[in-house]
Chain A
Amino acid sequence: MQDIKQIRESFSPPILEGKHDFATVSDKIGDITLKRKTPFHWFVGFAIFFLIAQMLLATVTYLLLKGVGIWGNNQPVGWAFDIINFVWWIGIGHAGTLISAILLLLNQKWRTSINRFAEAMTLFAVACAGLFPLLHTGRPWLAYWLFPYPNTMGMWPQFRSPLMWDVFAVSTYATVSLLFWYVGLIPDFATLRDRAKSKVFKIIYGILSWGWRGSARHWHRYEIAYLILAGLSTPLVLSVHSIVSFDFSVSQLPGWHATIFPPYFVAGAIFAGFAMVLILAIPLRHLYNMKDFITLAHLDYMGKVMLATGLIVCYGYAMEAFFGWYSAAQYEYYMIYNRIWGGPYWWFYWLLILCNGLSIQLLWFKRFRHSEFWLFTISVIVSIGMWLERFVIIVTSLHRDFLPSSWAMYSPTIYDYSMFLGTIGFFFTLFYLFVRFVPIISIFEVRTLLPEAHVHGHHQDFEEIVNEVEIEKIDKP
């Protein structure tokens, strides 16, 4: 039997390590928020990112005083850093929804210990993403004009425009992600409420848990609601990045007008998102000693998802180049020529291929997928690569359009950089607050991973059957 166990583990490492029962799981995760002293590294990290976030505040203040002229946007490159950063951030958010919704529907148990902070990542990434188009409107205090409401001008928004679709997609995405995240938190807030010693925390977590008491009837409806939300979020997340890609592909511009955009953008989003989940998960498991819950298996699976989606993205690059040639259209051909070797931004393209195409090839090997150092490094490289991808798509397509008389170069100003860096600070500031006040791993779902959570003698779990069959196979070589 021991051998069988070892063989099984060599195939798939466990998704839960250490000796745990219902109580230790609850305490280990809950105590980060409740009992343990806030660690020193939390203050250091929070301070650094909070300072960086101030850059965003300062830039936005100056922007509101002066207008979008402080950015490097020009004609013809009217969509520059704002839309690059918008697409970059919203793409990152997609991995959170993929983990929480799609992997739930696919019955992937390993999602359980990473879904909470991945969903938090989604919310914060969407918050950062939303800032860019909002400020790009130039007069953000009138941004409510984007929504249909009866007004004295007697006008309505133009629903035939992909930019309007974006407003609906992104605002729905933000709302549904928040609901999904919060529903998952209700039972965990109840756990914190029951474990809190201080009156203040008891009241705060009591309000947040809505008086949850774990009744069987409540769990019954809760699970239905949770599953339906997962079923709704799955098409939603696919639609959001498809619609973001429509912003480009519905227009006539060479380099944007391509039918491959929706699937290629969705794969890119998941690719970038998993990179960010790894960037967050690897430090979390060390700093908060969560190695029992975020195991090697999780890192391995995430590495594989990154490899798979990365290869889809590479297929997208190849197809873009192929159709530029195959279309035999002068403008399409010129766009690809300009992008890859003839234009002034050619090295952005090759840097992007290096980051997104080459670096992920290491993930074919278990050695790299099981090394935190390499996974973290590749994730950072991929995040940079995905940013470059959006730069290439947006800037190189815009700066050489149909009329040579309108060609121009684009270069960002210091305010473009400070705003982008500022949102990174803002993102991590929010994430630090989340880690401090909310359970970073879904406690009640991790409980269900324990073997004693299964009721014996009633019906056989699907996984038990699979295990038995596998063990039988190993027994008879």
Chain B
Amino acid sequence: MSGKKLYGIMAEFDTPTELVDAARKVREAGYTKTDAFSPFPIHEIDEALGIRRSILPFLVFGGGVLGLLLGLGLQYYTHVIDYPIIVGGRPHFSLPAFVPPAYELTILLAAFTAVFGMLFLNGLPMPYHPVFNVPRFALASRDKFFLLIESKDPKFNYEETRKFMESLNPQEVFDVEE
């Protein structure tokens, strides 16, 4: 502790199985402000850390519906209201011919919502984050697995939490500075 504020305590593991086992123990011990870091997605960690299912799919559905309405609305406005003209003997509102553009706009807006919604909910872009202060953390994108308990967790107590983390059989335990 070099006089800087403590962000949390982090433990390093070698395998995803160890990480999931440790995460489960951390949750059972009653910690809530926790996070895990891994070089690839691990499905078991969601349940172990108690991560709730994201609302992202609903946002994407909304985006898709908006795209569909926008597509149909645009074609209705241009071909029925603003500039009605008979082409090829079809009615002003020729729905079958209007399907492809509306369909493409549905997909376009849904895809935009999926990508930017995911980044927004994840709080990205975030160029600075305290976890990067741990030099070993560079390996989180290569082959190591990390578990973090934040200092703002109501159960957090430096001595106790650190001792608890060491009891989880990690490779190493680090203090993460703010």
- Is the beta-carbon distance between B101 and A165 smaller than 8 angstroms? yes
Q: Smallest Cβ distance from A197 to chain B, in angstroms?
A: 11
- Is the beta-carbon distance between A232 and B107 smaller than 8 angstroms? yes
With contact pairs A445-B40, A447-B39 given, residues A190 and B141 touching in the complex (Cβ less than 8 Å): yes
- Is the beta-carbon distance between B42 and A216 smaller than 8 angstroms? yes
Q: Mark B99-133, 1 if CB is under 8 A from A, else 0.
A: 01101110110111011011101101111110110
Q: Smallest Cβ distance from B159 to chain A, in angstroms?
A: 26
Task: Pick from A5-13, A85-93, A150-158, A345-353 the stretch touching chain B.
Answer: A150-158
Q: Mark A387-407, 1 if CB is under 8 A from B, else 0.
A: 000000000000000000000
Instruction: Tell which of A155, A216, A445 has the most Cβ of chain B within 10 Å.
Output: A216
Q: Smallest Cβ distance from A221 to chain B, in angstroms?
A: 5
In angstroms, Cα B35 to Cα A194, docked, is 20
Which B residues are CB-close (under 8 A) to A223?
41
In angstroms, Cα B140 to Cα A422, docked, is 43
With contact pairs A148-B78, A172-B104, A448-B41 given, residues A225 and B117 touching in the complex (Cβ less than 8 Å): yes
In angstroms, Cα B94 to Cα A335, docked, is 31
Q: Smallest Cβ distance from B55 to chain A, in angstroms?
A: 9
- Is the beta-carbon distance between B57 and A224 smaller than 8 angstroms? yes
- Is the beta-carbon distance between B138 and A216 smaller than 8 angstroms? no
- Is the beta-carbon distance between B37 and A216 smaller than 8 angstroms? yes
With contact pairs A217-B122, A221-B122 given, residues A232 and B114 touching in the complex (Cβ less than 8 Å): yes
Per the 8 Å Cβ criterion, residues 56-78 of B in contact with A are 56-57, 60, 74-75, 78
In angstroms, Cα B97 to Cα A300, docked, is 41
Q: Smallest Cβ distance from B169 to chain A, in angstroms?
A: 15
- Is the beta-carbon distance between B122 and A222 smaller than 8 angstroms? yes
Interface of B is mostly: helix
Which B residues are CB-close (under 8 A) to A331?
none
A218 contacts the other chain (Cβ, under 8 Å)?
A: yes
In angstroms, Cα B43 to Cα A223, docked, is 10
B49 contacts the other chain (Cβ, under 8 Å)?
A: yes
B87 contacts the other chain (Cβ, under 8 Å)?
A: yes
Q: Smallest Cβ distance from A439 to chain B, in angstroms?
A: 12
Q: Smallest Cβ distance from B176 to chain A, in angstroms?
A: 12
Task: Pick from A115-123, A205-213, A290-298 the stretch touching chain B.
Answer: A205-213
Q: Smallest Cβ distance from A147 to chain B, in angstroms?
A: 11
Q: Mark B137-153, 1 if CB is under 8 A from A, else 0.
A: 11111110000000000
In angstroms, Cα B169 to Cα A249, docked, is 67
B8 contacts the other chain (Cβ, under 8 Å)?
A: no
Which B residues are CB-close (under 8 A) to A159?
75, 78-79, 97-98, 101
Which B residues are CB-close (under 8 A) to A193?
141
In angstroms, Cα B84 to Cα A158, docked, is 11
B17 contacts the other chain (Cβ, under 8 Å)?
A: yes
Picked from A160, A213, A239, A454, the residue with its CB within 8 Å of the CB of B140 is: A213
- Is the beta-carbon distance between B46 and A220 smaller than 8 angstroms? yes
Which B residues are CB-close (under 8 A) to A156?
78-79, 82-83
A229 contacts the other chain (Cβ, under 8 Å)?
A: yes
Which A residues are CB-close (under 8 A) to B103?
239
In angstroms, Cα B119 to Cα A225, docked, is 9
- Is the beta-carbon distance between A228 and B60 smaller than 8 angstroms? yes
In angstroms, Cα B15 to Cα A195, docked, is 20
Instruction: Tell which of B49, B100, B140 has the most Cβ of chain A within 10 Å.
Output: B100
A96 contacts the other chain (Cβ, under 8 Å)?
A: no
B2 contacts the other chain (Cβ, under 8 Å)?
A: no
Which B residues are CB-close (under 8 A) to A212?
124, 141
- Is the beta-carbon distance between B37 and A176 smaller than 8 angstroms? no
- Is the beta-carbon distance between B36 and A216 smaller than 8 angstroms? yes
- Is the beta-carbon distance between A455 and B42 smaller than 8 angstroms? yes
A16 contacts the other chain (Cβ, under 8 Å)?
A: no
- Is the beta-carbon distance between B79 and A211 smaller than 8 angstroms? no
A458 contacts the other chain (Cβ, under 8 Å)?
A: yes
- Is the beta-carbon distance between B111 and A179 smaller than 8 angstroms? yes
B88 contacts the other chain (Cβ, under 8 Å)?
A: yes
Q: Mark A429-468, 1 if CB is under 8 A from B, else 0.
A: 0000000000000001101100011111111000000000
- Is the beta-carbon distance between A217 and B107 smaller than 8 angstroms? no
B20 contacts the other chain (Cβ, under 8 Å)?
A: yes
Chain B: CB-nearest residue to A456: B17
Which A residues are CB-close (under 8 A) to B36?
215-216
- Is the beta-carbon distance between B100 and A228 smaller than 8 angstroms? no
In angstroms, Cα B103 to Cα A239, docked, is 9
In angstroms, Cα B17 to Cα A439, docked, is 27
Task: Pick from A19-27, A58-66, A275-283, A361-369 the stretch touching chain B.
Answer: A19-27
Which B residues are CB-close (under 8 A) to A455?
16-17, 20, 42-44
A235 contacts the other chain (Cβ, under 8 Å)?
A: yes
- Is the beta-carbon distance between B16 and A211 smaller than 8 angstroms? no
Q: 16 A-B Cβ contacts within 8 A?
A: A22-B39, A26-B141, A148-B78, A159-B98, A160-B94, A179-B115, A214-B141, A216-B38, A219-B42, A221-B121, A228-B56, A228-B57, A235-B107, A239-B103, A448-B41, A455-B43
Q: B: which residues have CB within 8 A of A?
A: 15-17, 20, 35-46, 49, 51, 54, 56-57, 60, 74-75, 78-79, 82-83, 87-88, 90, 94, 97-98, 100-101, 103-105, 107-108, 110-112, 114-115, 117-119, 121-122, 124-129, 131-132, 137-143
